[in-house]
Every structure is written in structure tokens, then in C-alpha cells.
Amino acid sequence: MSTPKPEIEKSWGLALENEFRTDYFMILKSFLLEERNNHQIYPPGPEIFNAFNFTPFDQVKVVILGQDPYHGKGQAHGLSFSVPQETKPPPSLQNIFKEIENDLGIPPPKHGNLEHWAKQGVLLLNATLTVRANQAGSHQGKGWEQFTNQAIRKLSEERFGIVFLLWGKFAQDKEELIDTGRHYILKAPHPSPFSANRGFFGCRHFSKTNKILKKIGRQEIDWSLGNSSKPREL
């Protein structure tokens, strides 16, 4: 039985079409095929491009950058910081929910599936889109970073008024890809338990994001979590 191939939403496919023909992407594909033949890889193939599939290029209003997919069984499903409905929210996500409660008074949800945000225009993008099971960072430096950097550049160059939430040094290093004359950047420490107390708690990024969106005439984000459903048709 063959493994289902990942597919990417049409508008993103057009925005990134040149990347799929590059040498680095061909090498990345070969690496992933070999990895899949010898190891358990997360997320499942059809979910690799979920960040793009839930949030089309022309609908992105907010970008939340992560680094790697979760590497535990049943955790990664293609959206940064998010986990499937039945999976317990990891510590960083629990801290995100705590800050939302402190900022907006929204009680923490009983699940950690962030699809509701993604469908409102929050691009939940990891820099690296796959990982070997139980081996954090195992797919870094294989080509994904070039691909996702180009996604950020495309948004920076072709869109206007996107709010980028850069949490932690890794995400903040991506600022050089963003035209700060066209977009908004909010920075804070990472929500990890190791750094959340250094300024993530109290950053109020969720209310600040909505104030920016309102100011530029866009629909604010409902940061509570509605019911999960499948992504839009590709």
C-alpha cells in the first residue's frame, strides 16, 4: 500500500511553484522518501502542508512561527503549536492558553487543536515541516527552512498588513525576511516553560493583534477554539 502524497492548497501552490522545481527541493523529497522507508515520520504525509491548506495565501492575516513539528506519537498534524483534538496540549501550548486567558479572559479550552485559528487567517507555520519520531530537530537543515523562508518572503512582498508573532530567538531571526514597512511584528520570549516567565506572560499579543486588525479594517481573530473540521478542498 503506497503512502498518500502531500498536496498543497492551490493559491500557495502558485505562490511557491518555483520552489518545487529547485535542486534543494528535489534533494529534500529524496531524503523524505528514504526517511519514510526506514523510520516513522511525523506528521502523516497528507498533513505536512496543513498550515497552507487551512490558510490560503490571500487570506493570511496573522503568522505564528514555530520551529519543528512535535515528535511524539499523535501530536503533529501540520500546524505550529497545535495538536489533534484528542491529544493533551503540550506545555508551550498550555502557556499560550494561559496568556490568552490573562489577556482576553478566555478560559483555556479542553483541547489543543488550533484549526479554528487557521481557518480565520492565522498561518501556523513551522520552519521545518517534518520530523523523525522521538528525535527533535532531526529534519532541520534538509531544505524545509529554505521552503518556509520563501513562503514568508512571498507574504512579505505580495501581501500588506500581516501581523507576525515572533516568539523566541529562532522566530525572531526571521524578521530579516519581513518588510517592516508593510507589515506588523510583535516579539516576545518563547512560550516554553523555560522562557515564558521572561516576558511571554504579559505580552498581550492576542489583544494587540486584534487592535491592529481592527485599525486596518480587518476582521479580528476569535482566539477561543471552535469545533474542529477538515481543511477546505484543495
Task: Just list the catalytic residues.
Answer: 68
Query: Grid coordinates in use for 85?
Result: 483534538
For the record, the C-alpha cell of 135 comes out as: 528525535
Nearest to 191 by CA among 60, 78, 80: 80
Q: Which residue has the cell 487567517?
A: 121
